[in-house]
Amino acid sequence: MIVQSILLDALKNLRSNILRTGLTMLGVIIGVAAVIAMIAIVEGGQIWLVRSIERLGTNLLFVWQRSLNLEEQRQFSGRSLGLRYSDVMALRQQFPGIVVIPEIEIDQQLKAGDRDFSGEVTGTWPEYQEVRNFHVEHGRFLLSSDLSEWKRVVVLGKEVAEELFGSELPLNKEVKIGDHRFTVVGVMEPKGMVRRTNYDEMVFVPITTMMRRFTGNDRIRRMVIHVPDREQMEQVTQHVHSLLIQLHDGVDDIRVRNQGEFLNAVDQTIWTFRIVLGGVAVVALLVGGIGIMNIMLVTVTERTREVGLRKAIGARRRDILLQFLIESVTISAIGGGLGIVGGIAAAYGFGGFVAQSMPGGGDWGAVVQPSAIIIAFSFAVFVGVFFGLYPAVKASKLDPAEALRYQ
């Protein structure tokens, strides 16, 4: 009952000077809102990044040619041939349980009538759409017969098809790629931007046709490998790396990375953002705490005679200490509650704006975590206790006689 009485008295005192109380709470409100909003936006970004990576397939290994330094170039002169189409065939033969697809990308201009489009053309295999989780919406994708017969067929991304043919479905229409005529056999489903790449602007042709008609050699840009069992990804990574070194006459001129490494990099980046943005928000809360301490010190000075009178009629030091401490905590608790509301509103209000500002963004928003709310509110209460303790102790130590004579 004593605590309840003190709490009601504290609310009465705070309400008697509501403008000053509101300004005192402002720092806490801003701090709590900043913690919740920043963490929510960062969490939303993390989920979006992870989903973006997984939208391109799961359990994937990526193999590129590695650039050799000057010493390695002298040591392996004439022996480093880079990734070859034969490497893909060797991997498929050595590891029948995995799916390996090669990719070659070249810049070309596509023409259809009086319309044209400039972009990357990708030479690949039929398994591409399953491995990269990117499927056709109309028509078909590449077939094994397209590769074996070096057919001049092409599958267009959604935006490329619209750019060249408008609203007309382009199946069996002709497209000129460079100096060669190709027949459109499929149109890909809408995919959008993923990690700064617009997949709706992609163009696919059989890789054998690409090597025969455009590049004139068997070099490939990269390989993408799908591993059925996630638990075996590290083991397969090591085996693939070892086999490619053997195929390249002992030259380690390739780099193998698994999808988990990309996800770990995302986690590390997100944690960096959490720490930096959380630190900024904590500073805002500390500034709010200093404001609470200043106002409570002013309040102690203004109510010196009241403290003297309370002590004269029997109030103990702990009663006075509890009275001012509860007032301080009440300010921070109410400010924390308002900050929660403001933080959630800011998170959802600005989350979409931040997403639109990010490269390739626009399809993610804030994710408010209950843990962020609990942490922010708890820290706000702690700030109230910490910064309200000194004024409360100062008030409890006032001499009754001196306090009653205070003007």
> What is the per-residue pLDDT across 112-122, written as a single tens digit (0 to 9) for each?
988 999 999 99
Distance CA 306, CA 313 (A): 11
**Which residues, other chains included, contact 29 with Cβ-Cβ below 8 Å and sequence gap of 6+?**
288, 335, 336, 338, 339, 342
* 3-state SS class at 284: helix
Residues in the chain: 407
Query: Residues 308-321: pLDDT tens digits?
Result: 666 666 666 676 77
Last residue of a domain, one of 205, 231, 258: 258
Chain CA centroid to CA 307, Å: 54
Report whether 394 contacts 328 (CB < 8 A): no
Closest by CA position to 353, among listed 342, 362, 341: 362
User: What is the rounded average pLDDT of the residues 131-153?
Assistant: 93
Q: Are residues 110 and 176 in the same domain?
A: yes
* Helices and strands: H and E segment counts in the chain: 14, 12
Q: What domain range is 383 assigned to?
A: 2-54+263-405
Last residue of a domain, one of 238, 258, 278: 258
Looking at residue 7, its pLDDT comes to: 65
* 3-state SS class at 154: strand
Q: Are residues 198 and 66 in the same domain?
A: yes
Closest by CA position to 38, among listed 392, 250, 253, 285: 285
Most confident of 86-95, 153-162, 273-282, 390-399: 153-162
Q: Are residues 121 and 240 in the same domain?
A: yes
Most confident of 92-106, 192-206, 277-291, 388-402: 92-106
DSSP state of 84: B
Query: Residues 325-382: pLDDT tens digits?
Result: 777 788 888 888 888 898 888 888 776 666 565 555 555 667 787 888 888 888 888 8
Last residue of a domain, one of 239, 258, 277: 258
The H or E element that residue 123 is part of is strand 115-124
Q: Are residues 324 and 249 in the same domain?
A: no
**Count of structural domains within the chain:** 2
Q: Are residues 120 and 11 in the same domain?
A: no
Distance CA 351, CA 364 (A): 8
User: What is the residue-averaged pLDDT of the chain?
Assistant: 80
Looking at residue 208, its pLDDT comes to: 94
Query: Residues 156-165: pLDDT tens digits?
Result: 999 999 999 9
pLDDT band of 322, cuts 50, 70, 90: confident
Distance CA 204, CA 210 (A): 10
- Helices 18-55 and 370-396 meet at what angle, rounded to 10? 150
* 3-state SS class at 182: strand
Q: Are residues 108 and 146 in the same domain?
A: yes
Looking at residue 366, its pLDDT comes to: 73
pLDDT band of 404, cuts 50, 70, 90: low
Q: Are residues 141 and 271 in the same domain?
A: no
- Say whether pTM exceeds 0.85: no
Distance CA 199, CA 157 (A): 7
Q: Are residues 210 and 287 in the same domain?
A: no
Most confident of 13-22, 40-49, 231-240, 310-319: 231-240
**Which residues, other chains included, contact 201 with Cβ-Cβ below 8 Å and sequence gap of 6+?**
119, 120, 157, 159, 160
CA dihedral 70, 72, 76, 81 (to 10 degrees): -80
Q: Are residues 76 and 132 in the same domain?
A: yes
Q: Are residues 168 and 203 in the same domain?
A: yes
Percent of the chain scored above 90 by pLDDT?
24
* 3-state SS class at 202: coil
Report whether 203 contacts 121 (CB < 8 A): yes
User: What is the rounded average pLDDT of the residues 235-242?
Assistant: 87
Q: Are residues 216 and 328 in the same domain?
A: no
Q: Are residues 78 and 100 in the same domain?
A: yes
